[in-house]
Structure 1
Amino acid sequence: MGYEFSLDDVAHLRSDAGRAALSSLADLPLTDASRLSDVRAARAVAPGHFAAVLETLLLRRKAAGRVPFAEDGLFTADALQQATAHPVAAHRARRFTGPVHDVTCSVGADLAALPPGSFGSDLDPVRLAMARHNVPGAAVVRADALHPVSRGVPVLADPARRDSAGRRTWRPADFLPPLDGLAAAYEGRDLAVKCSPGVDFAVAPWADEVELVSLDGAVREACLWTRGLATPGVARRATVLSSSGAEWTITSADPDDCPVTPPAEWLVDPDGAVVRAGLVRHYAARHGLAQLDERIAYLTGPTPPPGVRAFRVLEHGHYGEKSLKALLRAHDVGRLEILVRGLDVDPNALRRRLKLGGSVERTVVLTRIGREPVCLLAVAERTQPLEQEVAHGR
């Protein structure tokens, strides 16, 4: 949970004395081994607020590269953990055409990315004080997200994925505030709700469009868009972002005609956002690929898409441990990446049983085609990215 900041702590951290303390201690190691010496140093310059100073320095380091105000921002541990990575927040913000009311603004990570004139609210007075520091140009007020205090502007919400006891939860009814409560409170308003990509989207039938967003290969969030914020004719969208600035998107309105074929020269594992959004066939159709099995997300074809990690297939056949061991010995495999989908196989346990002794590195994909378990021995390769992948519009 981290250190529990008070309003007095925040006031001190924003004061000249607090800023001086943070500056003078910025180079502390802040490791387990240095804890006692770090505390002594902080007590010497900020005796009444040394814990708040040390926690702030630690959180600023963790925030580096994640939020635009990491260097001089104020955070709580929970708020930083839930804060949206800035490229994802900036992408989401581009879908708004004017000011937005962020009704769960917390310390301001999303608010900082929103269009000019946007404003925030939250129930936590400490986080609001931090948001005023982090996003000085935005108005923030204390208000309950379930009791609207604005009108005429779109609403953005990011419910806490912890229940009232502070335990992590995956049940939307236990979010703070709950998803259905937000939908009811802003019925008739344009609403966007950020939530975990693991949420069962069936619990939000009021969402007109569900967008899954990944950054650098990791699925970061789902966003539920309603009314005028949603794209007409689009129920699902996958958006793939890169720290390089390249991005692309695919939607349920795109063609999804792709065949099912035996393994070809290349195997492709689509980005997790595509898989989670249920757009594997759409992605295959765009890139001239086929499915190995209608229920499995692996794709195959003669040429992999640009900018992905693909697998050049060396051999494939029926999967069994005995035959797999023989295959790996024949290819002198000593380092093995094991990917599994559609089979009940523990890669770590299997790797121990294989007792590899070769000299080359390979990837084996274990999956099924129909009822048959199959293995594909492959070489992982990164395909050449486009100079600038273009995102398709809303």
Structure 2
Amino acid sequence: MGYGFDLEDVVFLRSATGRDAVAELSGLALTTSTRLNDVAAARKLVGERFAAAALETAVLRRRARSKLDDCADWLFTDAALQQATASVVARHRAQRLTGRDVHDVTCSIGADLVALTEFAERCVGSDVDRVRLSMAQHNLAVAGRSAVLAEADALRPVTRGTAVVADPARRDDAGRRRWNPADLVPPLDDLLDVYAHRDLVVKCAPGLDFAAVPDTAEAEVVSLSGQVREAALWFGGLADRRVRRRASVLRPDGSAWTITDAEPDDCPVVEVRQWIVDPDGAVVRAGLVRHYAARHGLAQLDPHIAYLTGDEPPPGVRAFRVFEHARYNEKSLRAMVRKHGVGRLEILVRGLDVDPDALRRRLKPKGAQEATVVLSRVGDAAIAYLCHAERV
């Protein structure tokens, strides 16, 4: 779970000596194989007392680059960085709070708070962890942002009239994810009770059990660059009352498109056509496959499987042009792969108990061509579709 920072560590890391030490350590390899040498270098540089804090900060900053913008001088704990929202996603959520007074009641090291200050009128951040609050103060200053910070329990309100943002802890002490809303810290039901008459948004893991979410919520699933990142539950005046489920698909540049269950979901089930489309994971997780299909004139191969088919895929997606298909068994698939001279084979599976990596090893593809095989249950049959993946 990483090094356990204390307030003395934070004071040191914010000092000129601490900043210079972390900057120097950031130039080391910082790999598992160089760990002993890196530790020795840190001890020589700052002494035994602050070596671990300085070295951990250098490691965490390197990890944070792919997740957070302009974070080269930020402070983190390992657990806080794991839970921090990617900057693109945080800004997407913060935009729905534009012009509001907002209280982030679980602000941690301030990653969401920095995004909120870009759009909200005034911001308050609070947390029960003094170390993380001190880190948040530092990170806000580095980002050139301002917010009122307070030490407070999320379940004991210290503001009135603000919209409330909450990001409950989603891992147990062993680092395992919590999927049940009752197991979040603080639990979802407790947050809803305390803020029953407030506008509220709760960040959750995308694997959340939506069956346990109140009907009054708008549940939004968000993906970034094709990877599902989070779910957000919107309540009160922050929720769109026409919508119960929303999928938002973000790109690294911040552009996005969204789809909701307020749209039509008329979608036939047909035989495979020229293309197979695998909808973005946010669409699948939000249960909006049929709505996505209706929007783009696609159909389902099977009413219970997320693969879609059509004569023209939506623009900007990676789709699969079908050039042969047949009932699936390994012998027939091996013959199909050899017939087309496929040596590099991607295997996608839905609705079947097939391990793609193990299957690829058994198929032993050899040849100069590259292809994708889509394996899917269609009705009572297992079907293999040999395709060429294209970005359209």
Moved more, 234-243 or 326-335: 326-335
Choose the corresponding residue for 1:113, options 108, 112, 115: 115
The aligned residue for residue 236 of structure 2 is 227
Give secondary structure in 1 for the equivalent of 2:252: coil
Choose the corresponding residue for 2:376, options 351, 364, 367: 367
Aligned: 1:353 with 2:354: no
Q: How many residues align?
A: 383
Distance 1:116 1:252 in 2: 31
List aligned pairs for 1:59-78, cutoff 5 A.
59-78=60-79
| Cα shift at 1:244 | 3.1
Distance 2:389 2:175 in 1: 42
For residues 253-283 of structure 1, give each alpha carbon's deviation from its aligned partner in whole angstroms, at most 9, with x where no partner exists: 1111121111000100000000011111111
Give secondary structure in 2 for the equivalent of 1:106: coil
Q: Give, as a single letter, the amino acid of the residue that structure 2 aligns with 1:269.
A: D
| Cα shift at 1:162 | 2.1
1:359 and 1:24, CA in 2 relative to 1: closer, same or farther beyond 3 A? closer
TM-score (structure 2 length as normaliser):
0.94
| Cα shift at 1:65 | 3.6
Distance 2:173 2:327 in 1: 50
Contact 2:222/2:249 (<8 A) preserved: yes
Choose the corresponding residue for 1:247, options 256, 270, 294: 256
The aligned residue for residue 327 of structure 1 is 336
Moved more, 112-121 or 162-171: 162-171
For residues 166-206 of structure 1, give each alpha carbon's deviation from its aligned partner in whole angstroms, at most 9, with x where no partner exists: 64322222211111111111111111000110011111215
Identity among equivalent pairs (%): 62
Q: Give, as a single letter, the amino acid of the residue that structure 1 aligns with 2:113.
A: L
1:207 and 1:59, CA in 2 relative to 1: closer, same or farther beyond 3 A? farther
Give secondary structure in 2 for the equivalent of 1:110: helix
Greater percentage in helix: 2
List aligned pairs for 1:38-187, cutoff 5 A.
38-47=38-47, 48-97=49-98, 98-114=100-116, 115-136=120-141, 137-163=146-172, 167-187=176-196
| Cα shift at 1:165 | 6.3
Q: Give, as a single letter, the amino acid of the residue that structure 1 aligns with 2:124.
A: F
Distance 2:13 2:132 in 1: 13
For residues 130-151 of structure 1, give each alpha carbon's deviation from its aligned partner in whole angstroms, at most 9, with x where no partner exists: 0011113111111111111111
Name the Cα RMSD after superposition.
Answer: 1.4
Q: Give, as a single letter, the amino acid of the residue that structure 1 aligns with 2:32.
A: D
- Unaligned runs of at least 5 residues, structure 1: 384-394
Q: Give, as a single letter, the amino acid of the residue that structure 1 aligns with 2:211.
A: A
Distance 2:255 2:165 in 1: 25
For residues 306-338 of structure 1, give each alpha carbon's deviation from its aligned partner in whole angstroms, at most 9, with x where no partner exists: 111100000112112221111112111122111
Q: Give, as a single letter, the amino acid of the residue that structure 1 aligns with 2:377.
A: R
Give secondary structure in 1 for the equivalent of 2:228: strand
| Cα shift at 1:107 | 0.2
Q: Give, as a single letter, the amino acid of the residue that structure 1 aligns with 2:354.
A: V
Q: Give, as a single letter, the amino acid of the residue that structure 1 aligns with 2:105.
A: V
Distance 2:177 2:375 in 1: 32
TM-score (structure 1 length as normaliser):
0.94
| Cα shift at 1:164 | 5.7
Q: Give, as a single letter, the amino acid of the residue that structure 2 aligns with 1:105.
A: C
Contact 1:362/1:379 (<8 A) preserved: yes
| Cα shift at 1:3 | 0.6
The aligned residue for residue 24 of structure 1 is 24
Distance 2:355 2:39 in 1: 44
Contact 1:317/1:374 (<8 A) preserved: yes
Q: Give, as a single letter, the amino acid of the residue that structure 1 aligns with 2:110.
A: G
Moved more, 114-123 or 216-225: 114-123
Give secondary structure in 2 for the equivalent of 1:147: coil
Contact 1:211/1:236 (<8 A) preserved: yes
Distance 1:245 1:82 in 2: 20
Distance 1:10 1:264 in 2: 60
- Unaligned runs of at least 5 residues, structure 2: none
Give secondary structure in 1 for the equivalent of 2:111: coil
Moved more, 264-273 or 67-76: 67-76
Give secondary structure in 1 for the equivalent of 2:377: strand
Give secondary structure in 2 for the equivalent of 1:23: helix
Give secondary structure in 2 for the equivalent of 1:74: coil
Give secondary structure in 2 for the equivalent of 1:118: strand
